[in-house]
Amino acid sequence: MLGALYAVITVLAWGIWLAPSQNIPFRSPLVRTFYVAAANLALATLVFGLQGFKGLTWDVFWLPFSGGLVWALSAFLAFSATDLLGLARAYGLWAPVNVGVSLLWGAVIFDEFLQASPRMLLTLVLSLAIILAGILLIIFAKGSGVQSQSRRALWLGLLGALGAGVLWGTYYLPIKLSAASLWVAAFPLALGIFAGSTLLAILTRQPLRLARRSDLLKVSITGLLWGIGNYSMLLLVEQIGAGRGFTISQLGIVVNGLIGVYLLKDPSPGSRPAVLTLLGCVLATIGGIMLGNLK
Secondary structure class of 57 (helix, strand, coil):
coil
131-174: pLDDT as tens digits: 999 988 888 887 655 555 677 888 888 899 899 999 989 999 99
Residues with Cβ within 8 Å of 68's Cβ and at least 6 positions away in sequence, in order, are 171, 188, 189, 190, 191, 192, 193, 194, 195, 196
User: Higher confidence at residue 295 or residue 207?
Assistant: 207
Is pTM beyond 0.85 here? yes
Question: Alpha-carbon torsion 145, 150, 151, 157, what sign?
Answer: negative
| pLDDT (average), residues 190-200 | 96
- How far is 62 from 42, CA to CA, in rounded Å? 19
Torsion of CA 122, 128, 130, 136, to 10 degrees: -150
Whole-number pLDDT of residue 189? 97
What confidence tier does 24 reach under pLDDT thresholds 50, 70, 90?
Answer: confident
What confidence tier does 52 reach under pLDDT thresholds 50, 70, 90?
Answer: confident
